[in-house]
């Protein structure tokens, strides 16, 4: 299986290992350890002199297949799987940062990521400056002599702000800082950050890679020198490993990744256009709309606008809650990346614990609603929203 195949082919075929049983579907290897032919082989495996499986905290064939498939899709030399998206971010921070280092991070990242950098890593002497996702000048101005990492997520959640990966990669390179991009919203089907100059790509496989809301998982992708020499030693020792069962579920999910991403994005664009013309809607945030402030950048950087649409209702919180409560089909849950469409009110859920001022500064208004568009028929989704709008 070479990586010159197209994305759809890689999603179905890349990374498959076949055992002596010649199984057609990917095997699920539920085993914590592997046996050796001899004491000498055990010694060689442990020292790394001989390649092969040892212990599932750091080597398992099902997890290897997941890693190889995602690496192929991202165009990465290497990939290490982790127990969740957050453990992928933690592993990256632990691998490349030490006390006294400084991080520049987009303020539009996932809430737990803000907590991780702003609170937990701060206790270990790593300082983080949060800057605008869309203003490269702020990134440049935030650089200090000890800056070692730039961290961003594009499109951002829930406002779908687009960061210019190429521009920030140039600034990061001059500063000698690694550019780490959380590619959860787009997946490699819509955006390949390594080709745009990012050093590492993070995934929450919990979202679109699984695509069916079943298991948690995560990954770090990039060059061998960073992933194998940098991230693997931390994972091997600290142990936030992806379970083989979860790897297998996600691996099977990735077979339909391209189909799902293209269809869900297409439905999101249709829904965004409809919402934009609706009299009760004040504003729609969707990168695929010409009205989006970074529309042309998004269309350069991404294959489509993605499957997340946020919009502001004129009636504020009451109107937002009324719309959410009137749905009968769409699930009221903060998760995303599922084939089942979900709806959430960011101001009182994901962003409910931050101060009203900080929320206003971040643009999370009381009338804002986020929809993660799934695979149900578009007419049914529109009817479900129409009921309470
Ligand atoms: C969900 C999410 C994460 C965290 O992933 P988990 O698998 O829940 O740990 C990180 N980044 C983004 C953009 C996410 O949406």
Q: List, in order, residues 6 or more apart from 34 with CB less than 8 Å away.
A: 52, 53, 54, 55, 59
For CA atoms 261, 262, 263, 269, the dihedral sign is: positive
Phi and psi of 151, rounded to 5°? -130, 130
Per-residue model confidence as pLDDT tens digits over 132-145? 999 999 999 999 99
Q: What is the pLDDT of residue 4?
A: 82
Phi, psi of 260, rounded to the nearest 5 degrees: -65, -45
Residue 59 clears pLDDT 80, i.e. is over it: yes
Tokens matching residue 340? 């089942």
Do residues 69 and 14 lie in contact, with contact meaning Cβ atoms separated by under 8 Å? yes
Kindly tell me if the per-residue pLDDT of 1 is higher than 90. no
Question: Which residue in 31, 130, 177, 89 sits closest to 361, CA to CA?
Answer: 130
Ligand 1, atom 6: closest residue by C-alpha: 85
343 strand-pairing partners: 332, 371
pTM comes to 0.96
Q: Which atom of ligand 1 is nearest to the CA of 157?
A: 13
Closest among 184, 126, 123 to 152, alpha carbons compared: 184
Pocket test for ligand 1, best of 110, 120, 157, 185 (most atoms within 8 A of CB): 110
Across all residues in the chain, what is the average pLDDT? 96
Whether 285 lines ligand 1, by a CB cut-off of 6 Å, is no
Q: Give the DSSP H/E element, type plus range, for residue 359.
A: helix 356-361
Confidence of residue 95 (pLDDT cuts 50, 70, 90): very high
**pLDDT exceeds cutoff 70 at 272:** yes
Going by C-alpha positions, the residue among 133, 258, 268 that lies closest to residue 188 is 258
342 in contact with ligand 1, CB cutoff 6 A: no
> What pLDDT was estimated at residue 317?
96
Question: Mean of the pLDDT values across residues 357-381?
Answer: 93
What tokens were used for 338? 């599922």
The token pair at 87 is: 């453990």
- Residues 78 and 68: their CA atoms lie apart, in Å, by 7
pLDDT interval class at 62 (50, 70, 90):
very high
Report pLDDT for 2. Answer: 56
Q: What is the model's pLDDT at position 361?
A: 78
Q: Model confidence at 154, in pLDDT bands (50, 70, 90)? A: very high
Per-residue pLDDT at 51 exceeds 70: yes
Task: List the beta bridge partners of residue 165.
Answer: none
- What pLDDT does residue 354 have? 77
Task: Kindly report, residue by residue over 295-335, the tens digit of the pLDDT.
Answer: 999 999 999 999 999 999 999 999 999 999 999 999 999 89
> What ranges do the domains of the chain cover?
7-254, 257-386
Burial readout 5-23 (b: 16 or more C-beta within 10 A, e: otherwise): eebeebbeebbbeeeeeee
User: What's residue 171's pLDDT?
Assistant: 98
Average pLDDT on 105-127 reads: 94
Two tokens at 316?
A: 């504020």
Closest CA to 189 of 144, 255, 283, 235: 255
Helix then strand then coil, in percent of the chain rounded to 5, is 40, 15, 45
User: Which pLDDT does position 178 carry in this prediction?
Assistant: 98
d(CA 386, CA 101): 50
Q: Is the CB–ligand 1 distance for residue 215 below 6 Å?
A: no
> CA 321 to CA 173: how far, in whole Å?
45
| CATH class of the domain at 257-386 | alpha beta
In the chain, the percentage of residues whose pLDDT exceeds 70 is 99
Residue 3 predicted with pLDDT over 90: no
CA of 210 to the centre of ligand 1 (A): 13
Contact 327 CB / ligand 1 (< 6 Å): no
Q: State residue 350's pLDDT score.
A: 86
Task: Name the architecture of domain 7-254.
Answer: 3-Layer(aba) Sandwich (3.40)
Nearest atom of ligand 1 to the alpha carbon of 185 = 13
Q: Work out the average pLDDT over 52-80.
A: 97
d(CA 332, CA 342): 6
């Amino acid at each position: 299986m070479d990586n010159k195949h197209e994305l759809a082919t890689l999603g179905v075929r890349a990374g498959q290992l076949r055992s002596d049983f010649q199984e057609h579907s990917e095997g699920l290897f539920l085993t914590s350890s592997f046996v050796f032919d001899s004491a000498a082989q055990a010694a060689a495996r442990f020292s790394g002199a001989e390649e092969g499986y040892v212990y599932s905290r750091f080597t398992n064939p099902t997890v290897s297949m997941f890693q190889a498939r995602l690496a192929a899709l991202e165009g990465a030399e290497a990939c290490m799987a982790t127990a969740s998206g957050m453990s992928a971010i933690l592993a990256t921070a632990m691998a490349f940062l030490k006390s006294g280092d400084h991080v520049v991070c987009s303020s539009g990242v996932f809430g737990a990521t803000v907590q991780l950098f702003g609170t937990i890593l701060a206790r270990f002497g790593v300082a983080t400056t949060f800057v605008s996702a869309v203003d490269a000048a702020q990134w440049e101005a935030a650089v200090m002599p000890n800056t070692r990492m730039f961290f961003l997520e594009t499109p951002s959640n829930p406002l779908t702000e687009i960061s210019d990966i190429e521009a920030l990669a140039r600034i990061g390179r001059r500063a000698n800082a690694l550019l780490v991009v959380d590619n959860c919203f787009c997946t490699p089907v819509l955006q390949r950050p390594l080709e745009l100059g990012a050093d590492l790509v993070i995934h929450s496989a919990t979202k679109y890679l699984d695509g069916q809301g079943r298991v948690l998982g995560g990954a770090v992708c990039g060059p061998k020198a960073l992933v194998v020499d940098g991230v693997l030693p931390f994972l091997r020792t600290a142990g936030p490993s992806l379970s083989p069962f979860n790897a297998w579920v996600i691996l099977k999910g990735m077979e339909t990744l391209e189909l799902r991403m293209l269809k869900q994005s297409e439905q999101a664009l249709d829904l965004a256009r409809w919402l934009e013309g609706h009299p009760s809607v004040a504003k729609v945030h969707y990168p695929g709309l010409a009205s989006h402030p970074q529309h042309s950048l998004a269309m350069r950087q991404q294959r489509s606008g993605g499957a997340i649409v946020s919009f502001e209702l004129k009636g504020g919180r009451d109107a937002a809650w009324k719309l959410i409560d009137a749905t009968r089909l769409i699930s009221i849950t903060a998760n995303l990346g599922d084939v089942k469409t979900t709806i959430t009110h960011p101001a009182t859920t994901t962003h409910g614990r931050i101060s009203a001022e900080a929320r206003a500064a971040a643009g999370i208004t009381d009338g804002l609603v986020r929809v993660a568009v799934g695979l149900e028929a578009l007419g049914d989704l529109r009817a479900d929203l129409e009921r309470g709008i």
